[in-house]
Structure 1
Amino acid sequence: MSAADYHAIADDWERRATIRTRPRRLLEDDDKLIYPVCRQPLVLCATFLEHCPQWRDFVLVQSFYKFINDVVIFETEIVDKTARSIAKNHFSVPFPLACRVDAMTVVVDEDYHALVALDFLQQTVAMTGIQPLDPPREIELSRALPAAQAKVPAHLRDAVALIGVAIAENTVTHEVAAFAKDTSVKASIRGLMADHLFDEGRHAQFWTRLVRMYWHTASAEDRDSIAQVLPIFLTQYLTNDLQKNFDRHLIEHLDASDSVRSALRDEVTALAFPITRRHPLMDNILGFLQHSGLLQTPSVAQALDNYLPVSGRLT
């Protein structure tokens, strides 16, 4: 994909961005959930259901707080940083002005998403009286990007950031879509997710196009260097270690016996998706890699051979 083929999103942003078109959403005081049960398996554990079902709302509210914290880190510390660098022409990979203007719309959107998330945090604390526990200081992407960047030459670190952010933006879109459709959750929160999804769909296309432009011009040597670190990135990005740490932290705040807490910790530890082609996010990631052109590169296909479905694996 060349610069001449680039399709700008700025006009679409002017017409449809949620910061332009959506009113403030207010949390309802009803019997709907604040966070989907299906996204917090701790409350579905046999031990939890038997010994501490009265703590369900506490766990779900704290999980919502963690979700908000993750959104703020993701939007303001990672995506914003990369998009702002591109917009200000400080990125080591040069992009045309149209791309830089679009990158600034992403900056505005992501900071707005963080603002809305914090507003919902404030509303939830006021309504429930439940104070947030100390939030995690990092998310999976906070670890995955530096781990991959450390293994490539300095001139490729921005390119790795670009690809890592693009992978994340393409996967978070699908996660938010599932959240937005869960009718067990309060309507305002589903609306929040739908608004977020509305913008993130545009962002996913933007990042995919930028990666495709970069990959089209990258040298074979640079492509091969990046290919070798993609498994490192995916291992860190797809781990659930941080979620398990959070769940263990939650368990310590439950009014339960030591034996119940120990059983809960054991059940949480067992809740892990293997980081293989069967991981639930791999289809989305492979779809991005296909659309951006990376997967058509032999070294990328070789590096990710263990993640590919049998029909697409190298022999």
Structure 2
Amino acid sequence: MTTTPSSAAAPGPLDRWYESAGVRGGVRRIFHAEAEQGRVFFPARLVPHLDHPEVRGLGPERIRELTVRHLYQFLHSTTHLETRVVNGAAEPVANGRAGMDFPTALRMDAFKVYCDEGYHALYSLDLADQVAAVTGIAVPRLDYGGFVTALRSAGRALLPDDPLLAGQLQAVVFETLVTAVLNEVPQDPTVVSTVRELMRDHARDEGRHHRFFSDFLLQLWARLDRDRRIAAGRALPAMIRAALDWDVRPVLASLRLAGLDEERARAVVADCYGGDAGAARIQTVSRATVRLCAQVGAFDLPGVSDAFAAYGLHEPEDTDTHG
């Protein structure tokens, strides 16, 4: 539970928001091409298709364009996820429209998250526009909201009569997943400094959001009756996988723009993103979220363990639960 600074309880993750939030004291990150010679726009190890033989044969300039477009995909997907998923869940809580009696302190924290996420979307779009203007590599006119569509589809399929709860769970899932990009890119000196700085800014806020949404799930879960807990527990693994499965449509478009025909582009995507590709990554990235589900006692409910197993996710060992 988050608290006001005057509370006797432990400090909440957003108690110092007025002093520490990026939207309160951050600076606009400006891309200067002349200072970035020899650096990459995105680490190759975080772009699965760059290591494919078909892609390695395209030449350095095409590979550079692929890397820049991968940055665009990350930045534009961020704008969709932050404003449509996280703020779509934070607003009803903040305005008391969630159908539950949350404390005023938590509602104010939800408004703080709302402000943060709008700012993250703004500076993500801003950086993509700056990079496109300086490099001459256009941002493809694509729908970068595929993750949102997948998350909402999972919610509608499994919680068709409970859209507010579905939205809240989607935000919890997205905000508690460990994002390799935000953790790794700021530490990589081969990446252009503006990208590193922006992702470092983002990571600072998201660390606080992770703690807020972890606390929020505890409060939310305590307000659900048994039937809604069971429904929520069975829906969570589908949402986790929807948030982690790659949106390959922008990848396909980028590969075609790089010179691959449709057949070869689809083969690259199938090899790099299909089947069991990324299974180890999903286990690693989802660990904190799955542990949080266990902490609230979700795995003690009927059908939940089987639902997680069906998506290749399993209850962590040695987890204290509160059912």
Q: TM-score range by the shorter chain?
A: 0.7 to 0.9
Match of 2:205 among 196, 199, 210: 199
| Counterpart contact for 1:43–1:53, Cα < 8 Å | no
Question: Which residue identity is paired with 2:236?
Answer: L
Equivalence for 2:88: 81
Question: In structure 2, how many angstroms separate the alpha carbons of the residues matched to 1:153 and 1:140?
Answer: 19
Equivalence for 1:228: 234
| Counterpart contact for 1:173–1:204, Cα < 8 Å | no
Equivalence for 1:90: 97
| Counterpart contact for 2:178–2:285, Cα < 8 Å | no
Question: In structure 2, how many angstroms separate the alpha carbons of the residues matched to 1:208 and 1:179?
Answer: 24
Does residue 1:118 correspond to 2:125, yes or no?
Answer: yes
Identify if the C-alpha distance between structure 1 residues 72 and 92 changes in structure 2 by more than 3 Å, giving closer, same or farther: same
Does residue 1:13 correspond to 2:14, yes or no?
Answer: no
Question: How far apart are residue 276 of structure 1 and its match?
Answer: 6.1
| Counterpart contact for 2:94–2:110, Cα < 8 Å | yes
Taking the TM superposition and a 5 Å limit, the aligned residue runs for 1:243-262 are 243=248, 245-255=249-259, 258=261, 262=263
Question: How far apart are residue 278 of structure 1 and its match?
Answer: 6.7
Question: How far apart are residue 294 of structure 1 and its match?
Answer: 4.0
Question: How far apart are residue 43 of structure 1 and its match?
Answer: 2.1
Which has the larger share of helix? 1
Identify if the C-alpha distance between structure 1 residues 172 and 110 changes in structure 2 by more than 3 Å, giving closer, same or farther: farther
Question: Which residue identity is paired with 2:182?
Answer: V
Identify if the C-alpha distance between structure 1 residues 255 and 142 changes in structure 2 by more than 3 Å, giving closer, same or farther: closer
Question: Which residue identity is paired with 1:268?
Answer: V
Equivalence for 1:27: 31
Does residue 1:298 correspond to 2:304, yes or no?
Answer: no
Moved more, 72-81 or 216-225: 216-225
Q: Deviations over 1:1-31 (max 9, x none)?
A: 6989685444310121112222222213212
Q: Deviations over 1:186-223 (max 9, x none)?
A: 11211101110100111111111111011123211211
Equivalence for 1:133: 140
Equivalence for 1:216: 222
TM-score normalised by structure 1 residue count: 0.86
Question: Which residue identity is paired with 1:24?
Answer: R
Question: How far apart are residue 91 of structure 1 and its match?
Answer: 1.4
Equivalence for 2:159: 152
Q: Flag structure 2 segments of 5+ consecutive residues without an equivalent.
A: none
Equivalence for 2:266: 265
| Counterpart contact for 1:149–1:161, Cα < 8 Å | no
Identify if the C-alpha distance between structure 1 residues 147 and 215 changes in structure 2 by more than 3 Å, giving closer, same or farther: same
Question: In structure 1, how many angstroms separate the alpha carbons of the residues matched to 2:80 and 2:48?
Answer: 23
Moved more, 222-231 or 74-83: 222-231
Q: Flag structure 1 segments of 5+ consecutive residues without an equivalent.
A: none
Identify if the C-alpha distance between structure 1 residues 203 and 174 changes in structure 2 by more than 3 Å, giving closer, same or farther: farther
TM-score normalised by structure 2 residue count: 0.84
Question: In structure 2, how many angstroms separate the alpha carbons of the residues matched to 1:311 and 1:84?
Answer: 35
Question: Which residue identity is paired with 1:255?
Answer: G
| Counterpart contact for 2:100–2:223, Cα < 8 Å | no
Q: Deviations over 1:162-195 (max 9, x none)?
A: 1221111111545411222222211121110111
Does residue 1:171 correspond to 2:177, yes or no?
Answer: yes
2:272 partner SS:
coil
Question: In structure 2, how many angstroms separate the alpha carbons of the residues matched to 1:47 and 1:278?
Answer: 23
Question: How far apart are residue 97 of structure 1 and its match?
Answer: 0.5
